Amino acid sequence: MIVMKFGGSSVANRKQIEKVLAIVRGRAGRTPLVVSSAHKGMTDALLSGAREAARGVYAPERVIERQAAIARDLGCDDALLAPFYEEISALYRGLSLVRELSLRSLDYAASFGERMAVRVIADFFTREGLPAQAFDVWDLGFLTDAAFGSARPLPGYEAAMQRAVRERVPAGVVPVVTGFVGKTEAGDITTVGRNGSDLTATLVGAAIAAEEVEIWSDTDGVMTADPSVVKKARSISEMRFDEAAELAYFGSRVLHPSTLVPAMQKNIPVRVLNTNRPEHPGTVIREAAPPSELSATSIAYKEGQLAVTIRSTRMFGAAGFLGEAFQALGRHEVVVDMIATSEVSVSFTTDRREPLDRALPDLERLGEVRVEAGKTLMVVVGRRLAAQAGLGAAILQAVADAGVNVEMVSYGMKSISLTMLVADKDVGAASAVLHERLFERA
């Protein structure tokens, strides 16, 4: 069995869903399980409608008509989604009356995109001659904790999913399953995080011991750089799990940051493919990959960083100062992306303002604190970084030649990534020169 995940752009409209049908039909012999995102833009529309409702603007018809237009174009009966339209209207009505929007309500609102998408896709597949059945993922045993917005499956979900898939999916029928969402044991709908259908796919793949997980999007696999910034970016044929995980965390737009963890734990290959060019081999990500002749694997970046510096003479030759700082960050749930220290200062970055604001009073008791916004983490990932003499210097020189100032550097011993902090405005210039030096001259 294989798991095939299709993103929002892949199921945006009838033209795209026809491409998906042809791809899935071509893999029918491998017993595919399809995980689908919402149609492109639907999740944002649903959340926007919920927020408007909480401000007293009751307008469910906007999102309902958007979904209904796609369903009609696919030839679906109006009755197929009528219960969901009623449920959306009732939810928005309730929000407009209480004027309150909780994380639970946001997850509930967001869930309709996937729940409606899988039903119209399965209905369309079946009428086109490929028997399919829609499933909400919790009906196949995927129950989660109550961490709304970032839920994770409960321990033991794997056995529950194996049993449910075996007992509930008819032979010869393609299950079309909701990505992104889950449900608690109490019956509350959750989500695993924005763009989380990738994560759903690998969690399902790990549970059912899939032969492979395919992630279908609108790019030719994982690229050597963001193609919207570097026009000469090219596809990477094979890469290791650790390289892809670094890229995903540090801003690669192709994979959700947590996607690879379940696949790594069960050693299931993940293949990233292009719905619009299904003949392209894309990128296969696995535990071991053949040696590369290139110095690096890819460049990624993570914008919107806050750079924080704590300066104090108490640090000089003293034990425990960093421990106090990290305890303060931990108490207030500040997630640190990058860190560097000297004898009298420690600098770190984070991308969430609210937890940092909560932590600032505690940090200011340790020393002088400076916060700077508008920063980007640029990372070069490659398995040869630690072994090739002068490569780190060449990377820094390339950024300097682009006229970009590196404000902070992080590079762990035997690391496969070198991270630099630059200004947001310098991302394009730094990416272009780095790509030219690392990939175009090779």
Binding site as annotated, residues for substrate: 43, 114
Distance CA(174)–CA(20), nearest Å, equals 13
Token digits of residue 73 = 């174009």
Binding residues: 5-8, 43, 114
Token digits of residue 306 = 């806050």
Distance CA(430)–CA(380), nearest Å, equals 11
* Sheet of strand 298-311: strand arrangement: 338-341, 345-350, 298-311, 368-381, 417-423, 408-410
What secondary structure does DSSP assign to 149-213, as a single string?
Answer: TS--BPTTHHHHHHHHHHHHS-TT-EEEEE-SEEE-TTS-EEE--TTTHHHHHHHHHHHTT-SEE
Number of neighbours of residue 84 by Cβ within 10 angstroms = 16
Contact call for residues 402 and 437 (beta carbons, < 8 A): no
Contact call for residues 325 and 347 (beta carbons, < 8 A): no
Is the Cα dihedral 48, 52, 55, 61 positive or negative? negative
Residue 3's φ and ψ, nearest 5 degrees, are -105, 130
What secondary structure does DSSP assign to 296-357, as a single string?
Answer: -SEEEEEEEEEEEEEE-GGGTT-SSHHHHHHHHHHHTTPPPSEEEE-SSEEEEEES-HHHHH
Distance CA(241)–CA(147), nearest Å, equals 27
Burial class of residue 126 (count of CB atoms within 10 Å of its CB; 0-12, 13-18, 19+): middle
Provide the β-strand partners of residue 349: 307, 338
Number of neighbours of residue 68 by Cβ within 10 angstroms = 18
**Strand positions, DSSP E, 342-428:** 345-350, 368-381, 408-410, 417-423
Contact call for residues 29 and 50 (beta carbons, < 8 A): no
Q: Which candidate, 415, 413, 378, 382, places its Cα nearest to that of 399?
A: 378
CB neighbours of 79 closer than 8 A, spacing ≥ 6? none
Binding residues for ATP: 5-8
